[in-house]
Every structure is written in structure tokens, then in C-alpha cells.
Amino acid sequence: MASFTHYLQGATPTEISATDKLWLAGGAFATKITVDDYNTSTHVKTDADADKSSANTPRNNMFVAAGTVSVDGNTAINVADATTANCTLKITFDGDAGDVETENGKFYAYDGTTPATAPTGMTVQAAEPGNAEWKAVGGSAAALDLGDNSSAAATHDFYLLVSAKPTAVGEKSGKYWIELDYF
């Protein structure tokens, strides 16, 4: 059966399992992000509220402007110059049918219930390395189109810059979605 495996990149990758959360924070683990500021750290939070990625030195991407990203709090670089190693997320697709190609991939954030509905009270930005700019990915109609993998392989990796900011006071949550066709 085809599957996705999700990783928070860092010194070593931290696998994000089904009960874990990708946790965007305002500094150290569990630090709140100020309204209208973007995350300054990224972690994997377990269902027991522990920082699963604490030994990983997790990779953080922070939206600076439409075409720039700060990686791990360093000076901003062009999104187009970001490498796969700069990305917060690595998502591996295993077609489980030998070598496959992928196309029509999409990535977006949603409210956790209805894919068409953006997360409430926050803006989520995403980009792939080589994209000219970030894209606000709130709901399925605003999905980031992922690059096609036209070379047949057993697995395909998707690397994503991801950043979010609250636009109102209060706890925020949502989920992200990835989909694609394979053959």
C-alpha cells in the first residue's frame, strides 16, 4: 500500500508519527508566537506533550518576505536559493509498487476538519526549494503545487519550507495535507 513518511529535518531527522504534531513556536519548545510574527523554532510534539525533536537541532524556516526565508534564525536568503537541507519538512512517498512516477502533487494547511477551510486565525506559508516565492496555503483551493517526479523510483522525497503566524490571540491548530497521483 502506498504511504507517506513525514520528517522534521535537523542534525538527524525526527519522524513525525500519526500521533505527533508539527509544533511551530516562538522560540524554545512550547513558547508562544506573538500575533503577526512568524515562528522562530519548529519541533515535533508527542501526544504526551514532550519535545520529540529536542536532540535533533530541528530545522526552522521563518517567512521574512514573499521571496525570502530565514533558515534557523540566520540572515535571510532567497526562497529560490534554498536547498533541500534548508527545509523544515521532508515527506517521503513510497508507491509500494516498485518504481513509480508522481504528478499533480499538492500541499496545504486546513482547519483539521474540512480540507477546503483554511486554519482559523493564522496564516501558513509554504514553498519548495527553487520556488521564487512563498505561497499562503490556507485550504485546498490555495494549495502549493508540488514538482512532478518524472523519473521512476521506489520512493520520492518532497522538501518543504514551512512557516506560520497567528493573526489573532488564542491557541491555533490545524493540519497539513499532501496528495499526489502516481503511476
Give pLDDT tens digits for 66-92. 999 999 999 999 999 999 999 999 999
CB 74 within 8 A of CB 145: no
Where b means 16+ CB within 10 Å and e means fewer, 9-29 reads bbeebbebeeebebbbbbeeb
pLDDT at 96 over 90: no
Q: How confident is the model at residue 98 (pLDDT cuts 50, 70, 90)?
A: confident
Model confidence over 144-176: pLDDT tens digits? 999 999 999 999 999 999 999 999 999 999 999
Q: How confident is the model at residue 8 (pLDDT cuts 50, 70, 90)?
A: very high
96 vs 93, more confident = 93
**Whole-number pLDDT of residue 97:** 78
**Whole-number pLDDT of residue 106:** 98
Cα separation, 151 vs 142, whole angstroms: 27
**Whole-number pLDDT of residue 150:** 93
**Whole-number pLDDT of residue 77:** 98
